[in-house]
Amino acid sequence: MKEWTIGELLKETKDYLVKKGISEPRLSSELLLADILKMKRLDLYLKFDRKVTQDELDRYRDFIKRRIKGEPVQYIIGKTEFFGLSFHIDRSVLIPRPESEFLVEKAIDYFKKRDGGIIIDIGTGSGVIGISVAYYSPNVKAVLSDISEDAIRVASLNAEKLLEVGDRFMVNKGDLFEGIEEKGDIITANLPYLNREQIDNLQKEVRSEPISALYGGEDGLDLIKRLIDEAEERMNEGGELILEFDEAGKEGLEIFLKNKGLEYTLYKDYNNLYRYCIIEY
């Protein structure tokens, strides 16, 4: 039976994933093997000649089979990187996108000018946004809220690992602000914002994620509009609502905001698409 080195296995796997039409074949092969070998991804290249044991090889092949079926790498290894931190995730929560780090950056900038405060993260999922802000912002408490009990379980695990001290965070199961007594200085939200047409045309990999975390109604704005309606009473004076939306809903969102007389700014993402909205109170 052939013995494989790390270098040989990575090349063979990458070529195989390319033939199968899997996205990011090199990164997929590296992340999956690094997880099995309990190594950092970049350290694989420092140990190219290291032999892979049969047990490691068998587990790696199982991972690759799951990847070929369209299961995202993050679900296979049960974790993801976000804003320089490692978070536990599973199939009950959406996989955090790098684009959502914008919300964290803006919230951290806000708290740099103040001595602490409260961030309320609505639709928190795995908790990455609220936890990241609190992690990098001394004296900031994160309120992590989601309607999904499974999401609250995942967010709790991540908060306990990264924030440690109990008074730095609290979790809340509820619909938007339901059950939350605190008022926020910053409210962040990456709520479901895809419309019906977008849901019907999702890529295979995205279909592995919970649809309830993606579908925002016929125009993608159902929850976002409800959030904006409720946010003013839940915000401290001088606070900001920072949310993510899809460019397909830009026109409808702007009409809604203007009709309410709100002061807002829209921002584009790295693909030059409108994705973020900050409302000042």
- Beta carbons within 8 Å of 194's beta carbon, 6+ residues apart: 202, 214, 215, 216, 220, 246
Q: Is 125 annotated as a binding residue?
A: yes
Q: Is 146 annotated as a binding residue?
A: yes
Q: Is 123 annotated as a binding residue?
A: yes
Q: Is 190 annotated as a binding residue?
A: yes
CA–CA separation, 256 and 250 (whole Å):
10
CA 43 from centre of chain = 25
Cβ atoms 161, 85 nearer than 8 A: no
In angstroms, the Cα distances linking 78 to 65, 74, 203 are 16, 6, 21
Q: Is 127 annotated as a binding residue?
A: yes
Rg for the chain, CA atoms, rounded: 21
Query: Where is the binding site, in residues?
Result: 123-127, 146, 190
Query: Where is the binding site for S-adenosyl-L-methionine, in residues?
Result: 123-127, 146, 190
